[in-house]
Homo-oligomer: A and B are copies of this chain.
Amino acid sequence: MSKFAIGLDFGTESVRALLVKVETGAALATAVEPYADGVIDEALPTSDAALPPDWALQNQQDWLDGMQTVVQSVLAESGASRESVVGLGIDFTAATLLPTTIDGTPLCTLPSYENRPHAWAKLWKHHAAQAQADRVNELALARNEPWLARYGGKISSEWLMPKALQLLEEAPDLYLAADRIVEGADWVVWQLTGALTRNACTAGYKANWHKVDGFPSTDFLAALHPDMTDLYTDKLAGPVVPPGHKVGGLTVEWATRLGLVAGTPVAAPIIDAHAAMLGGAVSGPGTMFMIMGTSTCHMLLGETEVLAKGIAGVVEDGMVPGFFGYEAGQAGVGDIFAWFVDNSVPPSYHEEADSRGLSLHNILAEKAALLRPGQSGLLALDWWNGNRSTLVDAELSGLLLGCTLATKVEEIYRALIEATAFGTRVIIEAFTEQGISVGSIVTGGGLTKNPLLMQIYADVTGSEIAVAGAEQVSALGAAMLGAVAAGHSGGGYDSLSDAAAQMTPSPTKVYRPKADHLAPYNALYAEYLRLYDYFGRGENNVMKTLRTLHSEG
């Protein structure tokens, strides 16, 4: 009898289930269910009161309901028996933080709190804690906190500490009522198994946990806010375990709801981007994985801990047990192309796209592909959404240079793609120069479907770039965690590298650098680097001055 694992991929708008064969990783069925309340950024489902700007919440009931629907659906579609499912794995957005009572009851489900926005789960892209993040960063820098260097010298407003501080400052009664603050990933696992653990991936990358040093010190918390000293000891109580660790078995209630067998192993979860790396067959050092969508996350495993400058995070056991997981990022990639297509493409291109039944991206990429490197005469800095790695500066902004009266729409489109490729090359070189080897590159995500973009990345980096073979690369990674939680004796695997060796398909495509593109792109990259340093490292702070002028008045 074949054995199966189920991966659950909890995204921003929906949850997906993927049922795969444990022996081969072959996908038998997949299903997606949108969250009924979607992203809650205008008003709570329970109230008409407008949320403040930059808020983004989710309804945790959507996670549970959606999960039930999609698991039942893949079981039905595949015909797999309940007994043949050996394990369940989860990936999730992060930091997505839910305040609960001591037994895991979400505060927002209590009648007295249901109309309080702070009682709801704050989604990863809740950006209303920037002021708190600034103060965390200032204080950590002033105190020379040892953990700061592991995050490139700065943490994001999306992470645990700023969100928890915002909760405490703006709703102190709710902070008090929240016996626990739990990542969505860990909360779902808690529901499924009855056991509260903290996965090392979100703990490390979003809550500043370190395998040896633990969380930041109580001294630091006290300096940040006198009422916050219980954050790690109480509100984040629970053991930290690596992704793929078996947290427990399915409870009877959830086995029934999902249509599975009670006791089925449930794995400690992982962040969605990092799940993609696993699904992309990267389970050891030397290969960089890039998940390329609205933004790009670069992940890489190492054998030692290097506090690399400009890298967004290093966490032991954060991705694969036994390795140091390095993470870097580009804050805007697909987002920039989307901005361009929405704001800068004249009607004639729309008409051509309509009449040929193609997307604007297709039309622009088709025209841009006819240009040789350098032909546009344009160069951009890809900072429309700031710069994450290596400058860790959200206040930087985009630049386009070289415009003439003959500049065409597709030339700008290509220059924007090239700029993001240059940004990736900066990150690769930062890793390499600091002793973290990048031998090859594997990619996943929506942008891998753009052959022009992929070829430009290969040409700019001078590396072969493989596109991961799995259609649902994150969900496959989650399913691999489920197989590892089962273990070999339970019909799965004893390690992620064993799982990767058996369960991941070959790349769908490998892009190889074109020899005659290397020299012009090296020349352009040299110019990019010069502008990068000039505008990014304080020599000319015009981008910050413009932000100030933008906000004044």
In chain A, positions 245-296 with a C-beta closer than 8 Å to chain B are none
Contact at B530–A401, with CB atoms within 8 Å? no
Asked if A508 is an interface residue, CB under 8 A from chain B, the answer is no
Which of chain B's residues has its CB closest to A403's CB?
Answer: B398
Interface 1/0s, chain A 484-528, versus B by CB < 8 A?
Answer: 000000000000000000000000000000000000100110010
Q: How far is the CA of A177 from the CA of B401 in the complex (A)?
A: 47
A286 vs chain B, min Cβ distance (A): 33
Asked if A384 is an interface residue, CB under 8 A from chain B, the answer is yes
**Cβ–Cβ < 8 Å partners of A376 in chain B:** 550
Asked if A549 is an interface residue, CB under 8 A from chain B, the answer is yes
A552 vs chain B, min Cβ distance (A): 7
Q: How far is the CA of A398 from the CA of B405 in the complex (A)?
A: 9
In chain A, positions 8-47 with a C-beta closer than 8 Å to chain B are none
Contact at A553–B399, with CB atoms within 8 Å? no
Asked if A402 is an interface residue, CB under 8 A from chain B, the answer is yes
Asked if A385 is an interface residue, CB under 8 A from chain B, the answer is yes
Interface 1/0s, chain A 527-546, versus B by CB < 8 A?
Answer: 10011001100001011011
Q: How many residues of A contact B (CB 8 A)?
A: 51
Asked if A397 is an interface residue, CB under 8 A from chain B, the answer is yes
In chain A, positions 389-417 with a C-beta closer than 8 Å to chain B are 397-405, 407-409
Which of chain B's residues has its CB closest to A549's CB?
Answer: B374
Asked if A344 is an interface residue, CB under 8 A from chain B, the answer is yes
A26 vs chain B, min Cβ distance (A): 39
A441 vs chain B, min Cβ distance (A): 25
**Cβ–Cβ < 8 Å partners of A401 in chain B:** 397-400, 535, 542-543, 546
**Cβ–Cβ < 8 Å partners of A211 in chain B:** none
Q: How far is the CA of A231 from the CA of B80 in the complex (A)?
A: 94
Asked if A343 is an interface residue, CB under 8 A from chain B, the answer is yes
Asked if A347 is an interface residue, CB under 8 A from chain B, the answer is yes
Q: How far is the CA of A403 from the CA of B347 in the complex (A)?
A: 22
Asked if A244 is an interface residue, CB under 8 A from chain B, the answer is no
Contact at A402–B343, with CB atoms within 8 Å? no
Asked if A203 is an interface residue, CB under 8 A from chain B, the answer is no
Which of chain B's residues has its CB closest to A345's CB?
Answer: B346
| Contact A404:B399 (CB < 8 A) given known A375-B550, A549-B374, A549-B524 | no
A349 vs chain B, min Cβ distance (A): 9
Partner of A374, one of B343, B345, B540, B550: B550
| Contact A347:B344 (CB < 8 A) given known A401-B399, A401-B543, A520-B549 | no
Which of chain B's residues has its CB closest to A342's CB?
Answer: B346
Which one of A347, A523, A542 has the highest number of Cβ atoms from chain B below 10 Å of its Cβ?
A: A542
Partner of A400, one of B339, B342, B385, B400: B400
Q: How far is the CA of A397 from the CA of B378 in the complex (A)?
A: 9
Asked if A547 is an interface residue, CB under 8 A from chain B, the answer is yes
Asked if A379 is an interface residue, CB under 8 A from chain B, the answer is yes
A383 vs chain B, min Cβ distance (A): 8
Q: How far is the CA of A527 from the CA of B548 in the complex (A)?
A: 13
* The 8 A-B residue pairs with the shortest CB-CB distance in the complex, in nearest-first order: A374-B549, A398-B403, A377-B550, A402-B546, A399-B401, A347-B347, A344-B344, A527-B542
Instruction: List 15 A-B pairs, Cβ < 8 Å.
Output: A344-B346, A346-B347, A374-B550, A374-B553, A376-B550, A377-B546, A377-B550, A379-B546, A398-B401, A401-B543, A402-B546, A402-B550, A520-B553, A523-B549, A531-B540
